[in-house]
Amino acid sequence: MLQLERRPEASTTLRWLSPLLALALTVATGFLLFLGMGKDPIQALTFFFITPISDLTGLAELGLKTAPLLLCAAGLTVCFRARIWNIGAEGHFLIGAVAASAVAVSVGEAGGFLVLPAVLLAGIAGGMAWAAIAAFLKTHLNCNEILTTIMLNYIALNLLLYAVHGPLKDPYGFGFPQSVMFADAALLPALINGTRLHIGLAFGLLAAVAVWVLFARSFIGYQLNVVGEDHRAAAFAGFSARRLTWFALLVGGATAGLAGAAEVTGPIGQLVPQVSPGYGYTAIIVVFLGRMHALGIIAASALLALTFIGGEMLQIAMNMPKAVTAMFQGMLLFYLLTCDAFIHYRIRFRRPLPAGLSQPAAPAGQEL
């Protein structure tokens, strides 16, 4: 009989090493996977992990994909530290993109330096409004935020589809479900000239710094930690779980909404149905891989961004299916959770009771 038994002391070193261990196991499994598919594993792994970042354009693309992940992850970190399991970054992201696009489209060709801030603020407000629904449902009707945020993601996706097929559709777009291209005044400036990298990455890094300051220095960050670690201690201290839930979810909505706005005003330049390849979901992996720490989520965002680009690279260069990206992301999370489990628990083999002895018949509590 196998049993998981809690270790008396969990190793702190391993806690920090476990993301690296998970990465190593993912690479090893990827190696076997490619081998099984009859592809050259070394070549495939090179295409996946190395080739995308071997020149400036590649690095810029990596930064481009890192930005939305980092923004979403920063907001999710605030939620997850308080054990508010907000799975809704994807929905906040999409609504942020729609709201930003609505402003950008309605401004039209009008110029001015206020256009871009207005567009980005619209994205932030959109994301916050979407998160506010989940916050209201949790604090007033006691609805589980995991379920509500997932469901709200689907509603958000359908709102996006409605927008590009209806009110925001380009009337001269030959019927394609997309908006007009935004005017220059509504586009994010490039960070490195000649590449697609825009200042969205700077927003992401700022958000990560803000998260660091929040949890290292501020009392509200401390309160979020207490609520997450021990809600009874929080109630005893008088920290309002309701207020903190609103705070965390609104921050999560704001950063993800900004990410959505930065995506439509950055590399895409218009609203399209496939504005997100699942950034909001991938950001969940980022937060866990990054250990809910500012530096950690920066590194993890870059790594997960690489899986998007590496996956594309394999599709192009080695004719592999798109699912490779999802496979690698899934393996990373799986191995990370497994490693974490073994940091806190160990496996014990237990002999079954010898024959002839009856099982204890008393209530189970006695045997503890």
Partner 1 sequence: MAVSAQRLKLQGIVKDYPGCRANDGVDLTVGAGEIHALLGENGAGKSTLMKIIYGVVQPDAGRIVWNGHPVTVENPARARQLGIGMVFQHFSLFETLTVAENIALGLPADEVRDRGALEQRIREVSEHYGMALDPRRFVSTLSMGERQRVEIVRCLVQESTLLILDEPTSVLTPQEVATLFKTLRKLARDGCSILFISHKLEEVRSLCDQATVLRQGRVSGHCQPKDLSASDIARLMVGDDTPIATQVSAAQPGDTLLQVQELSWQTDDPFGTSLKNIGFSLRAGEIVGIAGVAGNGQEELLKVLSGEITLKGEAIRFTGEAIDRLPPGARRARGLAVVPEERLGRGAVPVMSLADNALLTAAGQGLVRRGVIRRQRVREFARDVISCFGVRCSGEQSSASSLSGGNLQKYILGREACQSPRLLVASHPTWGVDVGSAVAIHQALVKLRDEGAAILLISEDLDELYQLCHRMGAICNGRLSPLAPASELSINQLGQWMAGNFEVEELADAAA
Q: Is 175 in the site for partner 1 (CB under 8 A)?
A: no
Point out which span in 57-65, 113-121, 220-228, 338-346 binds partner 1 (CB under 8 A).
220-228
Count Cβ atoms within 10 A of the Cβ of residue 361 and give its class: 0-12 exposed, 13-18 middle, 19 or more buried.
exposed
HSE (side-chain half, CA atoms, 13 Å) at 324: 28
Binders of partner 1 among residues 57 to 76 (CB under 8 A) are none
Q: Looking at 218, 316, 337, 348, which residue binds partner 1 (CB under 8 A)?
A: 218
Q: Looking at 176, 230, 341, 347, which residue binds partner 1 (CB under 8 A)?
A: 230
Q: Looking at 25, 143, 220, 272, which residue binds partner 1 (CB under 8 A)?
A: 220
The answer to whether 178 and 169 are in contact (CB under 8 A) is yes
Q: Is 176 in the site for partner 1 (CB under 8 A)?
A: no
CB of 137 to partner 1, least distance (A): 21
Q: Is 361 in the site for partner 1 (CB under 8 A)?
A: yes
Binders of partner 1 among residues 3 to 22 (CB under 8 A) are 8-9
Q: Is 362 in the site for partner 1 (CB under 8 A)?
A: yes
How far, in Å, are 56, 111, 125, 187 from residue 114 at the CA level?
32, 8, 16, 12
Measured in Å, how far apart are the chain's first and last C-alpha atoms? Answer: 18
Cβ-proximal residues to 159 (8 Å cutoff; 6+ apart), any chain: 94, 95, 98
CB of 338 to partner 1, least distance (A): 22
What is the C-alpha to C-alpha distance for residues 25 and 300, in angstroms, rounded to an integer? 16
Query: CB neighbours (10 Å) of residue 216?
Result: 11
The answer to whether 86 and 151 are in contact (CB under 8 A) is no
Task: Please list the alpha-helical segments (H only) found in 48-199.
Answer: 56-81, 89-107, 115-141, 145-165
Q: Which residue, 101 or 223, is less far from partner 1 as judged by CB?
A: 223
Q: Looking at 1, 141, 355, 357, which residue binds partner 1 (CB under 8 A)?
A: 357
Q: Which residue, 11 or 106, is less far from partner 1 as judged by CB?
A: 11
Q: Which residue, 110 or 216, is less far from partner 1 as judged by CB?
A: 216
Q: Looking at 114, 237, 323, 341, which residue binds partner 1 (CB under 8 A)?
A: 237
Q: Is 240 in the site for partner 1 (CB under 8 A)?
A: yes
Q: Which residue, 162 or 342, is less far from partner 1 as judged by CB?
A: 342
What is the C-alpha to C-alpha distance for residues 25 and 258, in angstroms, rounded to an integer? 34
Query: CB neighbours (10 Å) of residue 341?
Result: 13
Q: Is 359 in the site for partner 1 (CB under 8 A)?
A: yes
CB of 14 to partner 1, least distance (A): 16
Q: Which residue, 166 or 352, is less far from partner 1 as judged by CB?
A: 352
Q: Which residue, 232 or 274, is less far from partner 1 as judged by CB?
A: 232
DSSP helix/strand/coil, 160:
helix
| β partners of residue 348 | 3
Q: Is 235 in the site for partner 1 (CB under 8 A)?
A: yes
CB of 117 to partner 1, least distance (A): 26
Q: Is 351 in the site for partner 1 (CB under 8 A)?
A: no
Count Cβ atoms within 10 A of the Cβ of residue 57 and give its class: 0-12 exposed, 13-18 middle, 19 or more buried.
middle
CB of 232 to partner 1, least distance (A): 5
Cβ-proximal residues to 79 (8 Å cutoff; 6+ apart), any chain: 85, 86, 248, 249, 251, 252
H or E stretch covering 137: helix 115-141
CB of 359 to partner 1, least distance (A): 7
Q: For 83, phi and psi rounded to 5 degrees?
A: 55, 35
Q: Which residue, 109 or 229, is less far from partner 1 as judged by CB?
A: 229
Q: Looking at 113, 172, 174, 219, which residue binds partner 1 (CB under 8 A)?
A: 219
Count Cβ atoms within 10 A of the Cβ of residue 105 and give its class: 0-12 exposed, 13-18 middle, 19 or more buried.
buried
Per CB under 8 A, residues contacting partner 1 are: 8-9, 217-220, 222, 225-226, 229-230, 232-233, 235-240, 353-354, 357-363, 365-368
